[in-house]
Structure 1
Amino acid sequence: MRAYYFDNAPGDQRLLHDSGTPVPADALRSLGVLSWHIPVDADDNYIQAIDQIARERDYKNRDTINITKEGLGDAYEAKLKMFFEEHMHEDEEIRYILDGSGFFDVREHPVDSWVRIHVEQGDLVVLPAGIYHRFTLDEKNIIKAMRLFKDEPKWTPLNRGSATDENPIRHDYLASVAAH
């Protein structure tokens, strides 16, 4: 996993958009973003490591999502646009990359800059509830990810706006960032 500031240049969202300024792991942690690298292996030994993290963080459910042009067909472009809209969730967003690669962009508070996180096979990333973020594939146009959930699987994006800014989960997130 590699993190850096998004360059804000126009162009395809699936390009690197690397400003050349890296973001260190401790800066991500100060935003509440956690990460691990757990290599995917043919013997499925990685499952034990994922299970351990799931127990420690109280994740009770999981599923797998495949995002490909072939798999999504006509809905592919619309789905990518939806994932790339700035939003937050009222629950953590947990993804373990089984194959392929993509980008999670998170808003750095309080400056509102985009931090781009390039995730690849074996990366596990946890975005805290209340953080504004977005997702896109990279130029490989494929990602297979395990999604983990604290409770029943749900994925409800709340697009950024005045109502979302007033959401109690957003306020809790901002308080946690201010405490760092």
Structure 2
Amino acid sequence: MAVIKVKKTGQVIEGEDNVRAFLNSQGVLYEHWDITKLPEHLRDKYVLTDEEKEEILATFKDEIEDLAARRGYKTWDIVALSDATPNLEELLKKFEQVHIHTEDEVRAITAGHGIFIIKGDKETGYFDVELEAGDVISVPEGNPHYFTLMDDRQVVAVRLFIDPSGWVAHPYEEKEEVNS
């Protein structure tokens, strides 16, 4: 289950209902999918063949199509990152810069962990959303954020897009400290 850490105050928010309510107050969609649907051989596997990626997408077909219908997403894929990923450090450096998109950034975590650092409203400031398998998040277009891996450095996620070519990150000029 996702855990939120508000940087300004040190507040920690746990529990599905509390996480959902907080993120909703910040304009961020949060859902939770039943990860037990995922076949055992795909749990905690971070180097995937194209066939295994398709199997993950097929497993969550109903959830993906429901979310896509509600939010206007047109295409989806799987991203898998781990220490086995070529050029992982370069990818993370690219990810770990505050940016915005012209469409939502959506992740449905199917294995491992990831963390979004998101700019909240003026009172809240930046907060971390630590995600694990089953967590689904949609950071709205234009909302400053970045995504990175947690200490285990491995994640598999479904990504959903409105534009079939995928989203493009646009740098965000920060006026406040991200870590406070």
TM-score interval, normalised by the smaller of the two chains: 0.7 to 0.9
How far apart are the structure 2 equivalents of 1:147 and 1:153? Answer: 12
1:26: Cα distance to partner? 2.4
Question: Given the alignment of the two structures, is residue 56 of structure 1 paired with residue 60 of structure 2, yes or no?
Answer: no
1:153 aligns with one of 161, 165, 176: 165
How far apart are the structure 1 equivalents of 2:83 and 2:12? Answer: 31
Partner of 2:118: 106
1:42 aligns with one of 34, 38, 41: 38
CA 1:7–1:99: 2 relative to 1, 3 Å: farther
CA 1:59–1:21: 2 relative to 1, 3 Å: same
Please identify runs of 4+ aligned residues in structure 1 that moved more than 4 A.
none
- Conserved in 2, the CA contact under 8 Å of 1:62 and 1:153? no
1:119 aligns with one of 131, 142, 145: 131
Q: Output the TM-score relative to the length of structure 2.
A: 0.75
CA 1:56–1:141: 2 relative to 1, 3 Å: same
- Identity among equivalent positions (%) equals 26
Partner of 1:177: none
When the two chains are superposed, the root-mean-square deviation of aligned CA atoms in Å is 2.2
Q: Output the TM-score relative to the length of structure 1.
A: 0.75
Q: 5+ unaligned residues in a row in structure 1: which ranges?
A: 9-18, 163-180
Q: 5+ unaligned residues in a row in structure 2: which ranges?
A: 40-57, 175-180
Higher strand fraction (1 or 2):
1
* Aligned length, in residue pairs: 150
Partner of 2:146: 134
How far apart are the structure 2 equivalents of 1:31 and 1:95? Answer: 17
Q: What does the per-residue CA deviation read over 1:107-143, in whole Å, with 9 as the maximum and x for residues that have no partner?
A: 1122462111011111110100010001110111101
